[in-house]
Amino acid sequence: MGRMTSQNKLVFFFGGGIAEGDASMKDLLGGKGANLAEMTRIGIPVPAGFTICTEVCNEFFKSGGKHPENLQWRVEAALGQVEKAMEAKFGDTKKPLLLSVRSGARASMPGMMDTILNIGLNDQTIEGVIKKSGDPRFAYDCYRRFVQMYANVVLGVSGDHFENLIQQKKRSLDVELDTELAAEDWEELVGAFKAKVREITGKDFPDDPHQQLWGAIDAVFNSWMKPRAVTYRRLNDIPDDWGTAVNVQAMVFGNMGDDSATGVAFTRNPATGERHFYGEFLVNAQGEDVVAGIRTPQQVTLEGKRRIGSHLPSMEEIMPKLYNKMVKIYQKLEQHYRDMQDIEFTIQKGHLWILQTRSGKRTAKAALKIAVDMVMEGVISKEEAVQRVDARSLDQLLHPTLDPEAQQRAHVLATGLPASPGAGSGQVVFDADTAEAWNNEGKDVILVRDETCPEDIHGMHAAKAILTARGGMTSHAAVVARGMGRPCVCGCHDLEIDFAAQQMTVGGVTLAKGDWITLDGASGQVMEGQVATVDSTLSGDFAAFMQWTDEIRTMKIRTNADTPEDAVVARKFGAEGIGLCRTEHMFFEEDRIVAMREMILAENEQDRRQALAKILPIQRRDFEGIFRAMKGFPVTIRLLDPPLHEFIPHDLKGQQDVALSLGTPVSEVKRRVEELRESNPMLGHRGCRLGVTYPEIYEMQVRAIMEAACHLIKREHFTIVPEIMIPLVAHAKEMRVLKELCVATCEQVMAEQGVVVQFMVGTMIELPRAALIADQLAQEVDFFSFGTNDLTQTTLGISRDDSGSFLKEYVNKRLLEKDPFVSIDQEGVGQLVMMGVKKGRHVRANLKVGICGEHGGDPSSILFFQQAGLDYVSCSPYRVPVARLAAAQAALASAK
Amino acid sequence: MGRMTSQNKLVFFFGGGIAEGDASMKDLLGGKGANLAEMTRIGIPVPAGFTICTEVCNEFFKSGGKHPENLQWRVEAALGQVEKAMEAKFGDTKKPLLLSVRSGARASMPGMMDTILNIGLNDQTIEGVIKKSGDPRFAYDCYRRFVQMYANVVLGVSGDHFENLIQQKKRSLDVELDTELAAEDWEELVGAFKAKVREITGKDFPDDPHQQLWGAIDAVFNSWMKPRAVTYRRLNDIPDDWGTAVNVQAMVFGNMGDDSATGVAFTRNPATGERHFYGEFLVNAQGEDVVAGIRTPQQVTLEGKRRIGSHLPSMEEIMPKLYNKMVKIYQKLEQHYRDMQDIEFTIQKGHLWILQTRSGKRTAKAALKIAVDMVMEGVISKEEAVQRVDARSLDQLLHPTLDPEAQQRAHVLATGLPASPGAGSGQVVFDADTAEAWNNEGKDVILVRDETCPEDIHGMHAAKAILTARGGMTSHAAVVARGMGRPCVCGCHDLEIDFAAQQMTVGGVTLAKGDWITLDGASGQVMEGQVATVDSTLSGDFAAFMQWTDEIRTMKIRTNADTPEDAVVARKFGAEGIGLCRTEHMFFEEDRIVAMREMILAENEQDRRQALAKILPIQRRDFEGIFRAMKGFPVTIRLLDPPLHEFIPHDLKGQQDVALSLGTPVSEVKRRVEELRESNPMLGHRGCRLGVTYPEIYEMQVRAIMEAACHLIKREHFTIVPEIMIPLVAHAKEMRVLKELCVATCEQVMAEQGVVVQFMVGTMIELPRAALIADQLAQEVDFFSFGTNDLTQTTLGISRDDSGSFLKEYVNKRLLEKDPFVSIDQEGVGQLVMMGVKKGRHVRANLKVGICGEHGGDPSSILFFQQAGLDYVSCSPYRVPVARLAAAQAALASAK
């Protein structure tokens, strides 16, 4: 194809059931041109036209604005075909053909390129339009619009001039609205417009239709190199040499009287996915009238009319013949494109024209239903079905969402980050204890905090939703809320909390404790009062669909779960194991935090061991519960990670409580808190550094894990392979020392219990250095798990807790494509992941490699992880279905 | 050589001026064996002996403990040669030859391997020893030591048994000291020892000298595989298959009467480097007596005796013949080894034996003098001279040091990190203002803080030295102190400050404000009271020597300097430009901090610009001063880097002051402080992120730089090429945006000033991501400067401010070789540096690449940077000489 084709054939006609192009010729004809040709080819009544191919555009720029030799006669020839098909003549005064000229590149560049409508109008042809439409006002309105648009786009005259003239006209007539101007007024204005063009450009406005056409064609070519288009391409990696095609097409009008109409139809219901034809239209109207929503549209089908209880007649009733034609067309289009179609149509004087068809936008629910139905109907394969549903949208199906109607009326106070999906209403409280207390009284509460910390977990659990003023998409609040399936809005900078007064100010409104608000975790909106929500319901389709994703994907999906309850939820959503069980959350519950604090305040190893001995049986029970919930599936347990100061309160009151409960002087508690204070806790004394300095802590945890495994194997007879994971490793030697500690403890417990348990010891790869020396680490461990949250923080040097103040601006200014804590930074962090996998597997071919950061639930990250060759991803329980689908899509994409 | 040699020649004799080996045969003979052979070969009187080569050791382990076929008769033959050379016979009762058996590997493994002395003693040969020495007590003491050592090392009998027997003996005689036991007592003990060996091992102690010898040889071989030796090799990367040689050598004794002696001599003065023979000896003594320091040693030379005013006769006086022999030997040794030698000698019955020679340890001052002198004497080349001085030690020459005598008497209270070299005494103060006030009163003060912050700088400047309780080698205190040349001890965890009481507790002692302490920044010691110091004096040798380093090195040495004063100091030390001029320190001085705070508290861009306008002329003056001080040399200026909250006080008093001086409500100041608070400021809103969110700040700074350059070029007519450096870049897009800002501002200023200034725009590479995408960044910039402090923090995930609590333990446990903030982590951070240079130069071959972290002053890091191909290193002014020398050494090492 390519060059040869273009030299032979610069112009591609379509119309009257015949087309010289087809859908496969997108590169040459652009998306729009190929689509018009394809529709024509399968017999859809499309207004006739022709496409000047993209290579003409390239030639145009190469030659400094000249057309290829043969272009002119080829355009003339094609124009002749259009005239024949439309039974009209370009420049004719009786049956004048009007044309539109539109760009159409290989990739969609919405709003970047120029369009000119109504080409062919002049003082002679206008007569034909008046005659045909029987409506001089309509005709002159078309005419003046054409002059305005053409002068602006082709001749470079600012639109302000014309607006001024219209204003003058209205002032002189003492009217306010365009609609109050009559045909004569518009006619006069056309003259005034043309005079203004002459005044500014020094030339007459071109009255010759052919001159108009060529001017429009060149204008579209030129718009390819306009700065906004160039910038758009640069930002979207679209090569300049793709060029644009130019589509010249006959105009049709839906506003030529009561036998004309315009509308939009869907081949299936885009909200529910149900298999019925659905559409709206307006009689004697233009497409923009349907969009504008000033007139209430009528339903296309009788069924649709009944459903919404409309009193307006349906198309099925008032235009039954055309309706029947529409039905045949929609069936043909859906069958041909094998997907639900969104169809734009216009009826001009009783003649039905299809202007555009494309895959219709749909809700998550509809996407799922349509995909499943189409498989059942034998239209598409399971693989195609899996690719038809946006993985991101699945979330909508799992959480309550705002009632769309109520949402429209809601008063939005502020918008924060959409940190955890779902919507929830409740009464505002400012601390976790109150949240829990009020929840126990049966109240719905929203927990509002500057930011949350592990001590708030019981309050988050008690809340319907969580709102914070600080913190990003992977802040504590966001991570925990997603894990619990609670809606959460984070980093809402417009929010100011006055804890002393127990009130908050947001969006200029001050709300007190007990006032109602509603959060939409999917959009980040904070709304005043109670906004109605709709519960999620999972259909049988969902189960079938998810089953297909499991058949297709090659990566395993695990979950991040810290409790037996979370583990059970995740299993229900299809998790195939736990990729990250954080042990620190376990320490915050009431029965153990005292012992934990005792341990931290201990002055020496012996006292520490005494305190740890109290925690041991509790941790063991936790692990038993988790192993039981995950029966038969692997469980990766991360040993203690956060710095110890997280476990001691930093306020005086809390410190006094601790002192009291431990029988220690407050001064001692304060001293220890001060001693543990860190400038950058993220880079501080945490992770395996705790294991190195306080080996007895890790020893206790490993013992708890292994005792739990031994007990279950002995008493409940199932297989458990605990995967013990060491966090924050940076050096091979620290890994070696801690592995030895793990192995020695495991062997001791097995000897004591008389049970042999298979176990694995692995490391998180969450520091750049760990990825850089992954070959050394692989010699020590059985598995890697990429902790991409911390790896992102350290690689980019961005604290997720502090990123709110600048990251949003970075994304707004397009310095960053996406929040790197939401979607993995493939160029930077991704390089380290690739390097880690490669170096690790080079040393140990059967190394098990997974990822347990928040990115494990992000579809585009999952695609990257598939390409990086990971064995599994792990995400929060409510993200598991998203991850399953995304992994299936990634497998299909990688297989290509 | 290799296998052939070993098959032909397993045993290498040396003695009587003849040696079968030489210095080049270290791999085969081990370090010690090669050295003994070499000394013998050049005519030095070395006790005769032979070396069993390393390949025998490997054969021994390969064959499971067997000797190569021919070993036995070769040993016998060599033994015969030894007997001839020493005029004694192994096992003879009249002139018995006694032997030592020592290990000797290619690399020194101090204390790891076994040694057996006095082999050949039994109840018959002892008679000969008694006769020859005329001292039965000496003879039996040797005998019993031999039995003890042999039984322990070769037969595996615990030394406790023998100690018990000696204790019993002493109790029975009612004496306390070994010296109170007579010859008969030792004779009896030898019998008791042998009986004990029989009791424990079930075998007789071997009386046959040959059996003794072979037992000892095998014991030395076996010690190669003992756990401690294996561990040592693993930690020091010494391959197991290097094996050890075994040196069998005739024993000589310095304690055989008044015609015997033992001593140590240096060919030049090891303290001053002066060219005179220097040594000490003891008559009728063993080597260990000299070391033990119980008897006062005599001087070898008359000159030495005079110098120290000793009343003991010198060797030159009492043994003039032997002394003359010594003089010839030392001259020969120094000439042969071309370095100052440390020589161990023994005189046995009027016969001089040289036991060992090696390059002598020396002070920095001596090292420098000796190196320079030897070049002048034509002994060594300049290149060799440059390699003879430990770069690290140069620091000693630039700072006052503790008076060594006073140091011995000082009471060390605690030891922290040796953060900035030099010693200083002063009165303790706990805040910067007092430090300044007292200093103005003429007092010497030591500033003691938990940790310092930029607000403390005036106090640090006023102090003689700085002590902090927290922070590592690159904490604020350490970095600033090194820059100022102030001694500093950091991270002294034993220190507790009670600010309320204005006192501190350290090492159990409580000191109040005004009490005297002394700090040694070279050792990290904190001492009570005033300890005398010695000022540094730089000799003419120093200048000559540094001149040579400049001729040899290929990397440029720049300095990190923020003020004209620092720049002047650095120039004096030979800095060739500024690699890092931090602009933030400029903001803390009194005349500008108010405007800075105004800027930070501003609500909008306009107010910010107003405040910045006040800072502009001040910054311009700063830059003018710095450009002037660095006349003709490049100056790299880093735009604002630290988070804004560093500039606002965090205590109520300070906030009130700010509010007062700005006429703002305190609540407003507080609010802003709270707003700016960060969880991990290191990873927060800082560096170029400030430039992106507040472009007006960077604009002002670039303007100040360019206006300063224009002014100087116009008025003072010298060339300036300002290098504008953007910190904390992670993404190519942010660099592009900020480069555009810099270039636009520069062009505007040049247009205004009517001057053309060449300028460069570059980036710090201080985040892992920057190194990973260095190819993208190189497209935007003229230079890279690796900020290895932050790059280390992020790559390793270690905050230097918080590392104190665990990093020391990591180094102690040998999980880390060195503090990665002192010496660059080549395996991890180094990989990123290499990657950054490679990717950067791949895109832009002439990319200028330097490093401006603290590692720029660390010799082993400098060697790495040379290998990485950097153009320059930049370090604090006082480290410049160290860096110049280290760079010269690195150039020589890399040329090899």
Tell me the nearest-neighbour CA distance from B384 into chain A, angstroms.
36
In the set B67, B476, B711, B855, the catalytic residue is: B476
Q: Does A788 touch chain B (CB under 8 A)?
A: no
Q: Using CB atoms and an 8 Å cut-off, which of residues 552-581 of chain B contact chain A?
A: none
- pLDDT tens-place string over residues B22-75: 999 999 999 999 999 999 999 999 999 999 999 999 999 999 899 998 899 999
Check residue B290 and give its pLDDT: 67
Would you state the structure tokens that stand for residue B39, as one six-digit string? 């000394």
Would you tell me how many other CB atoms lie within 10 Å of the CB of residue A522? 19
Residue at A362: amino acid letter: R
Interacting residues of A129 by C-beta distance below 8 A, sequence separation 6+: A96, A98, A121, A138, A139, A142, A143
* Rounded CA separation A742/A761 (Å): 8
Three-class secondary structure of residue B512 per DSSP = strand
By CA distance, what is A790's nearest residue in B?
B797
Beta strands (DSSP E) in A587-720 are: 635-638
* Rounded CA separation A272/A368 (Å): 9
Closest partner CB to A802 (pick from B680, B693, B797): B680
Mean pLDDT of B320-346: 96
- pLDDT tens-place string over residues B729-784: 999 999 999 999 999 999 999 999 999 999 999 999 999 999 999 999 999 999 99
As beta bridge partners, residue B760 has B723
Q: Does B55 touch chain A (CB under 8 A)?
A: no
- Cβ atoms of B870 and B837 within 8 Å: the answer is yes
Check residue A591 and give its pLDDT: 73
* Rounded CA separation B179/B174 (Å): 13
For chain A, what's the residue count?
Answer: 896
Would you state the structure tokens that stand for residue B516, as one six-digit string? 């005297």
Three-class secondary structure of residue A152 per DSSP = helix
For chain B, what's the residue count?
Answer: 896
- pLDDT tens-place string over residues A486-529: 899 988 888 999 988 999 999 889 999 999 999 998 889 999 99
* Rounded CA separation A738/A623 (Å): 20
pTM of the full structure: 0.82
Closest partner CB to B797 (pick from A683, A737, A813): A683
For residue A683, pLDDT over 90 is answered with yes
For residue B190, pLDDT over 90 is answered with yes
| Confidence band for A4, pLDDT divided at 50, 70 and 90 | very low
For residue A5, pLDDT over 70 is answered with no
What are the CA-CA distances from residue A641 to residues A558, A780, A796, B793 (Å)?
20, 20, 21, 18
Asked whether the beta carbons of residue B773 and residue A806 sit closer than 8 angstroms, the reply is: no
Asked whether the beta carbons of residue A680 and residue B685 sit closer than 8 angstroms, the reply is: no
Mean pLDDT of B234-250: 89
Tell me which chain B residues have a C-beta less than 8 angstroms from the C-beta of A805. Answer: 684-685, 693
- pLDDT tens-place string over residues B5-17: 445 689 999 999 9
To the nearest 10 degrees (0 to 180), the angle between helices B880-895 and B540-552 is: 40
Interacting residues of A453 by C-beta distance below 8 A, sequence separation 6+: A476, A646
Beta strands (DSSP E) in B815-866 are: 848-851
- pLDDT tens-place string over residues A792-819: 999 999 998 888 788 878 887 888 888 8
Interacting residues of A838 by C-beta distance below 8 A, sequence separation 6+: A774
Would you state the structure tokens that stand for residue B579, as one six-digit string? 């690699």
Q: How does DSSP assign B783-822, residue by residue? A: EEEE-HHHHHHHHHT--TTTTHHHHHHHHHTTSSSS-TTT
Q: Does B835 touch chain A (CB under 8 A)?
A: no
Give the torsion sign (CA, A129, A130, A132, A137). positive
Among A552-561, A602-611, B227-236, whose mean pLDDT is lowest? B227-236
By CA distance, what is B835's nearest residue in A?
A772
Would you tell me how many other CB atoms lie within 10 Å of the CB of residue B447? 31
As beta bridge partners, residue A345 has A263, A354
Beta strands (DSSP E) in B307-388 are: 341-348, 351-359
- Cβ atoms of A804 and A495 within 8 Å: the answer is no
Q: Does A730 touch chain B (CB under 8 A)?
A: yes
- pLDDT tens-place string over residues B585-634: 778 777 788 889 989 988 889 999 999 999 999 999 999 999 999 988 99
What are the CA-CA distances from residue A188 to residues A143, A165, A169, A207, A624 (Å)?
11, 10, 9, 16, 87
- Cβ atoms of B85 and B48 within 8 Å: the answer is yes
| Whether complex ipTM tops 0.85 | no
Q: How does DSSP assign B233-292, residue by residue? A: HHHTT--GGG-EEEEEEE---S-SSTT-EEEEEESS-TTT--SS-EEEEEET--HHHHHH
* Rounded CA separation A796/A682 (Å): 13
For residue A7, pLDDT over 60 is answered with no
Give the torsion sign (CA, A273, A274, A276, A278). negative
- pLDDT tens-place string over residues A470-498: 877 767 888 788 777 789 998 888 899 99
Interacting residues of A24 by C-beta distance below 8 A, sequence separation 6+: A34
Closest partner CB to A831 (pick from B737, B772, B797): B772
- Cβ atoms of B58 and B243 within 8 Å: the answer is yes
Q: What angle do CA B239, B244, B247 make, to 5 degrees?
A: 160
C-alpha closest to that of B155 among B219, B248, B246, B208: B219
For residue B183, pLDDT over 90 is answered with yes
- Cβ atoms of A477 and A457 within 8 Å: the answer is no
* Rounded CA separation A569/A552 (Å): 23
C-alpha closest to that of B798 among A170, A854, A794: A794
Interacting residues of A666 by C-beta distance below 8 A, sequence separation 6+: A652, A655, A656, A659
Which residue has tokens 């790559």? B795
* Rounded CA separation A727/B35 (Å): 50
Asked whether the beta carbons of residue A682 and residue B678 sit closer than 8 angstroms, the reply is: no
Would you state the structure tokens that stand for residue B184, as one six-digit string? 């008969």
Is residue A476 annotated as a catalytic residue, yes or no?
yes
| Confidence band for B292, pLDDT divided at 50, 70 and 90 | low
Q: Is pLDDT larger for residue B307 or for residue A6?
A: B307
Asked whether the beta carbons of residue A768 and residue B773 sit closer than 8 angstroms, the reply is: no
Interacting residues of B502 by C-beta distance below 8 A, sequence separation 6+: B430, B512, B513
Task: Look at phi and psi of residue B533 and say left if phi exceeds 0, alpha if psi is from -120 to 50, else beta.
Answer: beta
Interacting residues of B311 by C-beta distance below 8 A, sequence separation 6+: none
Mean pLDDT of A433-437: 92
Would you tell me how many other CB atoms lie within 10 Å of the CB of residue A415? 16
Q: Using CB atoms and an 8 Å cut-off, which of residues 655-714 of chain B contact chain A?
A: 678-685, 687, 689, 692-693
Q: Does A767 touch chain B (CB under 8 A)?
A: yes
Tell me the nearest-neighbour CA distance from B470 into chain A, angstroms.
10
CA atoms within 13 A on the CB side of B255: 13
* Rounded CA separation A125/A762 (Å): 80
Check residue A474 and give its pLDDT: 65
